[in-house]
Structure 1
């Protein structure tokens, strides 16, 4: 029972809000213009259903093409991510090997530098 009152009051509030908004001349003109345009379009498409059907088919084709493009892009990105996942261990191993090489080289250079002054003296 409380729900029916809530629904009635919401509807009443919407109607009162609409009525108050229509007190403004520019709002009234805008609503009238939009309503006339919508009525004209409905009338036109009621008389020419093939035109409406053609427009709907065109829109469907556009959305389908956009969907196919998006699917292709998502597929490409997935492939790239999988490839990156496969390459990551290889790159990690390469970086580790390079680091070890530099550490070993550093130790060798330190050894050479320590020995060099004693051999020249």
Structure 2
């Protein structure tokens, strides 16, 4: 069986693309500026590791607080969903009972209206 050359060719293509992109002067300058900035930052933090530790700790606390807030929000939403699940059958029963009450009232109103209307009709027929 032959070797899988896909990975090699992808890497070769990426390197070739990077080399071609360096023909543009603006790209070369931008890569040079960013590389110099990264190197100077690495040098600074290698001389001041306490600052790096402090910044990393600060970031960790920030992400931890975001995580804690998200956890609280998810817990609250879960509680609301569970409450909604328990309330849904009760609300459904309440709506059905209310509908039934209106239907019964409607029938009662019809019968009352019909009772009051019939005597007048019978008196006018006489």
How does the TM-score come out when normalised to structure 1? 0.92
Greater mean alpha carbon deviation, residues 91-100 or residues 8-17: 8-17
Gaps of 5+ in 1: none
Matched, 1:2 2:3: yes
Shift of 1:7: 3.4
Aligned partner of 1:22 in structure 2 is 22
Q: Are 1:94 and 2:72 an aligned pair?
A: no
Superposed CA RMSD: 1.3
2:6 and 2:111 mapped to 1: Cα distance? 88
Aligned ranges 1:1-121 → 2 under 5 Å: 1-3=2-4, 5-120=5-120, 121=123
Q: Which moved more, 1:107-116 or 1:43-52?
A: 107-116
Return the offset for 1:6. 3.4
Report the Cα distance in structure 2 between the residues aligned to 1:7 and 1:102, rounded to whole angstroms. 73
Q: TM-score, normalised by structure 2?
A: 0.88
| 42-51 or 106-115: bigger deviation | 106-115
* Matches of 1:93 and 1:49, distance apart in 2: 66
Q: Distance in 1 between matches of 2:7 and 2:102?
A: 76
- Once the 2 structures are TM-superposed, how far is the Cα of residue 10 of structure 1 from its aligned partner? 2.4
**Kindly tell me: are residues 95 and 7 of structure 1, through their superposed partners in 2, closer, same or farther at Cα, counting changes over 3 Å?**
closer
* Greater Cα radius of gyration, structure 1 or 2: 2
Distance 1:15 1:66 in 2: 39
CA distance, structure 2, for counterparts of residue 6 and residue 72 of structure 1:
46
